[in-house]
Structure 1
Amino acid sequence: MKGLDRFFPAAPAPGAAGDTGLFGPDSTAWRIARERLIVAGGPAALLLQVAHPLVAEGVRAHSGFTDDPLQRLRGTLDAVLTVTFGDRGQVRAAAGYVARRHRPVRGTLPAAGGPLPAGTPYSATDPGLALWVFSTLVRTALEVTEAFHRPVLAGERDAYYRDMRQLAHVFGVPDRLLPDGYAALERYMDAQIRTTLQVGAAGQQIARQVLAPQPPIVPWPLRGVPAILAAGVLPPVLRDAYGLPWRRRERAVFAVARRVARIAVPLLPGGVRYWPHYRVAAARVRRAPATGPGGGSSSSPTPAAGAEEPS
């Protein structure tokens, strides 16, 4: 579908043979993030992010939302997939690109937002704001996996968070700011919701553009689905703050989507189910790296433990 092609990132380059990148095929990060279904949480993740007044103003003032409402979603998705599945060179390149894009994003709040007075400065390089954005990505990926694929127990949530701390480091969140485990991350997010977040005019504007982008990316009968998915994944207080309906009809559509996805996802072929970034990475780690001068090279695949053969 042409509209969806505007949103999904393209397949990456093959990368260096044998290079597992930050995580590798045995990691919880690969097992969770390889599923294309996590894209269903994209709107909810963005709405969580821009519920923070400083993030919302940075996105409003420095992103091309009027021309391309899905720019931030697509860029964030591409960066996260590249860092998760790329070789180490691709990870460094993605981190450098994000850093260059973030460097000029700075300014001040034009009006008070929640407890933050007008004139409060913001910067996309602020580690505290980077922590909030990172936290929304981790939470949403796990909530969407739980809702639309399979249960994610506490141990796996902790393992995923431990893996993704490396992604946080890549994007400028120091270890001293990161909560100790996934339960601590949830407590941090709950505290932010209670004390800092407020859905202001900028957040509402961004939400409208993301949930009903122009031109549309889905056919007319499905155009209300992104708002329903976001409403089902967001914390109730933020769902209400954005004014997203959650009546019997919306709850029923969400429940049907959950049931259908949980049945269908395990039956899908890998070429449909998994991101191309995962399939490229799984093939890359199975390739034997070339040996040094005089040692020749090997083109025969080297099995990587835990790497599932993508179809």
Structure 2
Amino acid sequence: MDAARDVGLFGPDSVTWKLHAEPILLIGGIRSLYLQALHPRAVAAVAQNSQYRSDPWGRLNRTSLYVGTVVYGSTAEVEAAGARLRRLHARMSAVDPSTGERFRVDEPDLLRWVHVAEVESFLTTARRAGVSLTAEEVDRYYTEQLRAAAIVGLDPATVPATASEVADYYADMRPHLGLTRDSAETALFLTVPPVPDNWGSRALRLSLTLGPARWAYLGIAGTALGLLPPWARQMYGGPGWRTTDVTADLSVRGMRLLLASVLAAMPERYRVPPMRKAALDRAALT
């Protein structure tokens, strides 16, 4: 392939590029973290190896950079990012708090859970926000994401590849999920993240802690929680009511419209993230 035209794993005709052009997927990313935290071993692995408490925004930036690279990077960039992640995971282990057993964080069962929770969260959030996708496109997105699963070290044949397979996978996983101390602490952290000490003056940090920005973020976190499946909300002690689903749908649709309005008012060069712009340039679509 001509390196100048290399569009990586997906490309302009993919459902993946269509879906990830939506800024509302930020909410899907937060939803996926709440969902992933319900797996006792997965959340223990994060709690024991990650610096998310001391450097939450740095970890968020690194995760966003990785996802953006997988979606929009060239083949070489994607392979390099995947290799770095696999090397990092290969060095890590954690202790199961309920059994005392030490386990590797790159166990296929854990990688599969994180993968499925992430891609399902992106897809579900986009659809409930009003992004129009056919049933065929939904299944095609899951199938396309098998390439991303392979990059982290999974055998694609072991990963759910359609909406029906994802639903069956969740049904099989539910008996193994639940609220642990690690998951409760993670959920609290996601809902009320601290303002880093190095973010400007004390007055600025106090404003971010107690001011409008905090309340705006609580609205985002609350919407992400509301978008969880009813059974997942109930594990967190929340209601499984249909009215909660309706409220979350209205909220995420409103956020999508607000984001569209804000982006429309911005200069053109700020409307498309740099990674997507570079990918579109390689595909000769700009």
Q: Give the number of the structure whose alpha-carbon radius of gyration is greater.
A: 1
Alignment partner of 1:196 out of 168, 176, 183:
176
Q: CA RMSD in A?
A: 2.7
Q: Which residue of 1 aligns with 2:205?
A: none
Give the share of equivalent positions with the same residue, in percent. Answer: 27
C-alpha distance in structure 2 between counterparts of 1:96 and 1:239, whole Å: 35
Which sits farther off after the overlay, 28-37 or 211-220?
A: 211-220
Cα 1:271–1:148 shift into 2, 3 Å: farther
1:105-254 equivalence runs, <5 A: 105-111=92-98, 118-193=99-174, 195-215=175-195, 219-244=213-238, 254=248
Report the Cα offset of residue 192 of structure 1: 0.6
1:28-47 equivalence runs, <5 A: 28-47=15-34
Structure 1 gap segments, 5+ residues each: 1-14, 112-117, 287-306
Deviations 1:165-191 (A, max 9, x none): 100001111023123423112210222
C-alpha distance in structure 2 between counterparts of 1:80 and 1:213, whole Å: 22
Q: Which residue of 2 aligns with 1:27?
A: 14
Helix, strand or coil: the match of 2:145? helix
Cα 1:256–1:177 shift into 2, 3 Å: closer
Deviations 1:276-310 (A, max 9, x none): 32122101222xxxxxxxxxxxxxxxxxxxx4x4x
C-alpha distance in structure 2 between counterparts of 1:183 and 1:252, whole Å: 23
Q: Which residue of 2 aligns with 1:285?
A: 283
Cα 1:199–1:71 shift into 2, 3 Å: farther
Report the Cα offset of residue 76 of structure 1: 2.7
Report the Cα offset of residue 85 of structure 1: 0.5
C-alpha distance in structure 1 between counterparts of 2:280 and 2:28, whole Å: 24
Cα 1:17–1:251 shift into 2, 3 Å: same
If the length of structure 1 is used for normalisation, what is the TM-score?
0.77
CA contact (8 A) 1:109 1:122 kept: yes
C-alpha distance in structure 1 between counterparts of 2:79 and 2:148, whole Å: 11
C-alpha distance in structure 1 between counterparts of 2:107 and 2:280, whole Å: 34
Cα 1:202–1:219 shift into 2, 3 Å: same
Report the Cα offset of residue 274 of structure 1: 4.2
CA contact (8 A) 1:46 1:73 kept: no
C-alpha distance in structure 2 between counterparts of 1:176 and 1:255, whole Å: 33
C-alpha distance in structure 1 between counterparts of 2:217 and 2:256, whole Å: 22
CA contact (8 A) 2:230 2:239 kept: no
Cα 1:81–1:102 shift into 2, 3 Å: same
C-alpha distance in structure 2 between counterparts of 1:274 and 1:219, whole Å: 24
Helix, strand or coil: the match of 2:94? strand
Report the Cα offset of residue 273 of structure 1: 5.2
Q: Which residue of 1 aligns with 2:200?
A: none
CA contact (8 A) 1:69 1:209 kept: no
Cα 1:211–1:25 shift into 2, 3 Å: same
C-alpha distance in structure 1 between counterparts of 2:20 and 2:43, whole Å: 25
CA contact (8 A) 2:94 2:105 kept: no
Report the Cα offset of residue 97 of structure 1: 1.6
1:78 maps to 2:65? yes
Q: Which residue of 2 aligns with 1:60?
A: 47
C-alpha distance in structure 2 between counterparts of 1:154 and 1:249, whole Å: 25
Q: Which residue of 2 aligns with 1:10?
A: none
Counterpart of 2:93 in structure 1: which amino acid?
A: R
Counterpart of 1:108 in structure 2: which amino acid?
A: V
Report the Cα offset of residue 252 of structure 1: 7.5
Report the Cα offset of residue 63 of structure 1: 0.5
C-alpha distance in structure 2 between counterparts of 1:40 and 1:101, whole Å: 26
Report the Cα offset of residue 72 of structure 1: 4.4
Report the Cα offset of residue 240 of structure 1: 2.1
What is the count of residue pairs matched by the alignment? 267
Counterpart of 1:202 in structure 2: which amino acid?
A: D
Deviations 1:36-61 (A, max 9, x none): 21011222101111211110110010
